[in-house]
Amino acid sequence: MRSTTFTGTDEYKSVEVTLNGHHQLLSVFISDGLLRLEAETVEQRLNEAVRNANNAATESIMVD
């Protein structure tokens, strides 16, 4: 599972995170300009991307 990766993004595709099969964070991409927004907005988008990646990983584990 460690070599399997799962990617999640926020609704606007401004944040992308990648997790491994153990739900460990491997990478984070934040689009240009996003950090100019309020910290709360950045936090919400980052959390949404992590949640989506976690959901993808969990669904994959349940299928196996």
Average pLDDT along the chain: 94
Between CA 54 and CA 56 the distance in angstroms is 5
Please tell me the pTM assigned to this model.
0.90
Number of structural domains in the chain = 1
pLDDT digits (tens, 9 = 90+) for 5-30: 999 999 999 999 999 989 999 999 99
Structure tokens at 39: 């910290």
**Cβ-contact 8, 55 below 8 angstroms:** yes
Q: Does the pLDDT of residue 62 top 90, yes or no?
A: no
What pLDDT was estimated at residue 61? 77
Average of pLDDT values for 19-46?
96
In terms of Cα–Cα distance, which of 1, 6, 2 is closest to 50? Answer: 6
- Contacts of 61 by beta carbon, 8 Å cutoff, 6+ apart: 1, 21
- Domain with 39 in it: what CATH number? 3.30.1310.10
Which domain, by its residues, includes 18? 5-63
